[in-house]
Structure 1
Amino acid sequence: MSGNARRGNGHRRDSVLRWLRSQGGCCWMCGLPIAYGAQAGDPLAFECDELVPVSRGGSPYDRENVAPAHRICNNWRGDRPVGWVLSVRSRVLARFGRWSTPQQFVAFAKALDGGRAPSAASAPRVTTDW
């Protein structure tokens, strides 16, 4: 098996990605529409987010464990729990009101206590400067 658990069974993963993309849903984190036609790597592009991260034992093949996300939102979340994301979203709404872009949502979320979940573990690796 390759080092990436999501690609260990490429056919199954591709099937999950096609199914999730066909749903055309909004980002589960910020609630805004996703640019499904955007190229991979674009902050507004579609990414498949595992609700229980693979690093914490979640399945990348289970349709019940995946949700659509913007790349920028998925990067911000890292491997934090769903409940934490929902709590931050509520706090952002209470403090700043509605947001109009995923970038604005992530900026607001980061402004709250640094946008990080309290944890004794080391912070996830930052892969972008968004």
Structure 2
Amino acid sequence: MAGNPRNGRPYRRLVAAVKALGHPCARCGHNIDLKLNARHPMSFTLDHAIPLALGGSLLDPANARSMHRRCNSAKGARLGPTPPKTSWKW
């Protein structure tokens, strides 16, 4: 029985490589504080541009991008960054 691939060395390497790029959040565009606790809503998470649930590759660097934990949760298993909701009615 195989373990969770997200706990494996290749996945951890991918997370470290994307984190080291220091890119802002792919959804909201704000910087990500890499010193925050991993459970903090504004901490770094690895997002998959094509969600795994829709056939995206877990380990493809071209499918990986930086995102805040909160933004990643709000995006869910949808394609694209989905712009954040605003309180302004235009």
Q: Same fold (TM over 0.5)?
A: yes
- 1:1-130 equivalent positions in 2, closer than 5 A: 1-2=2-3, 4-7=4-7, 10-82=8-80, 85=82, 89=83, 105=84, 108=86
Return the index of the structure with the highest Cα Rg: 1
Residue in structure 2 matched with residue 101 of structure 1 by the alignment: none
TM-score, normalising length: structure 1: 0.61
Structure 1 consecutive aligned stretches of length 4 or more whose deviation exceeds 6 Å: none
TM-score, normalising length: structure 2: 0.86
Unaligned runs of 5+ in 1: 90-104, 113-130
Deviation at 1:5, TM superposition (A): 4.5
Larger fraction in helix = 1
Q: CA RMSD in A?
A: 1.9
Contact persistence 2:6–2:12 (CA under 8 A): no
Unaligned runs of 5+ in 2: none
Instruction: Work out which structure has the larger RCO, using CA pairs closer than 8 Å and 6 or more positions apart in sequence.
Output: 2
Q: Distance in 1 between matches of 2:75 and 2:62?
A: 18
The share of aligned pairs that are identical, in percent, is 28
